[in-house]
Amino acid sequence: MWERVVQDGRWALWLVCACYLVVVYITSRGLIGAPRYRLFQARVHDCRARAAILAATISSASVDSTDSTDSTDSVAKSAVLKAVNERLDGFGVGGQVVWRLLPQRAVIAIPLSKLAAAWRALHHAETQLLRLEGPEEIALRSLTLLLRLACDPDPVNNSLGTQLAAHAGDAPAERALLIAATEELHRQEDDDFEREYEHQRIALWLALTGIAAVLLLGLALDHRLSMLLGGLGGFLSPLIGVMRSQRPTSWGVLVLAPVGGALAAPGGLLLVRMLADPELNLLGQVFLHNSWGAPAQPISLAVALLFGFSGTLFSRLALAATGQLVPTAGRTARPGPPSRP
């Protein structure tokens, strides 16, 4: 039975890697960006509602006013609103933020770089709308921002909250400080998410490269079944960690763990074979015949599963193997005593 599984292991490895590539693609283009994109859509709708209210307010004010200065100000505000609406309309164009099958059809991909740029543009549009808000709305938003900054541990944000509270009631200064504080908070939010996206992109690149290495090693070595069990161990490790701690883990760990487990399994079996060699004899004879030379044996498969599950086990054995090599190199490099004449 084991011989048949080993013979079919090539196709099983290819099938598992192909399915995992699909999972990685869905993760990178959907699951990671989807929550932020839904929030982005909600914020765009809020901006449209604010822009519609401001447009009606500006239109009624321009009709009731007879002053040329107020009329010029209304024209300037209308131009700003037009620019903001055009920017908001651009978010719905296919390819600007997401990839769709058709312009208004289902989303098939959410590139993280485009989503990060869209958030920066949306924050700029929200700041522009703050310049057009009335005094009552500015006072309400200032109070909301003060309550938010009061709970912020960042001293810079606390300083912004203190300055904003000191100028409460002074409409021009309050508006300017509100805009400055909002821009600073938006910048911090954008920087944090862009760093997170960068970490996720690195993890996804490592996952794709690792899958390619798994396929190449699966073709070159007769360790396909042990690599599959190593990948299973890598999948179980964060799964059990989440179940035990009841806390979510990062996307990078979830994506990389099975790939790292599949790569660690044959390397771990080779380390076990080295440390079980009769000249070292650190692990005993049982691992000598159930490691690298016999990957289809039950003990070898269990060891591969353990190496995929625990990266600490691999690192400890690697350190143990290094400790056996370094003194040997030192002894061979040390010159002998000089011969006496």
pLDDT digits (tens, 9 = 90+) for 211-232: 989 888 887 887 888 888 999 9
Strands (E), the chain: 99-100, 107-109
List the one residue out of 230, 148, 218, 219 whose CA is nearest residue 186. 148
Alpha carbons 114 and 97: distance in angstroms, whole number: 5
| CA-to-CA separations, 271 to 48, 220, 224, 256, 275, in angstroms, rounded | 62, 18, 17, 22, 6
Alpha carbons 193 and 199: distance in angstroms, whole number: 10
Which pLDDT score, from 0 to 100, does residue 127 have? Answer: 92
Contacts with 256 (C-beta within 8 Å, 6 or more apart), sequence order: 203, 206, 207, 210
Which pLDDT score, from 0 to 100, does residue 91 have? Answer: 87
> Do 119 and 113 contact (CB within 8 A), yes or no?
no
Which range has the top average pLDDT, 51-65, 147-161, 206-220, 277-291?
A: 206-220
Average pLDDT over residues 274-291: 81
For 47-100, how does the pLDDT look when each residue is reduced to its tens digit (9 = 90+)? 999 999 888 888 776 655 556 565 677 788 888 889 999 998 888 777 788 877
Amino acid at site 30: G
Local structure of 76: helix, strand or coil = helix
> Do 252 and 202 contact (CB within 8 A), yes or no?
yes
Alpha carbons 72 and 247: distance in angstroms, whole number: 56
Which pLDDT score, from 0 to 100, does residue 8 have? Answer: 53
Which pLDDT score, from 0 to 100, does residue 161 have? Answer: 79
pTM of the predicted structure, to 2 decimals: 0.73
Which pLDDT score, from 0 to 100, does residue 340 have? Answer: 47
DSSP bridge pairs for 109:
99
Local structure of 98: helix, strand or coil = coil
User: Residue 295 — very low, low, confident or very high, per pLDDT cuts 50/70/90?
Assistant: confident
pLDDT > 70 in the chain, percent:
86
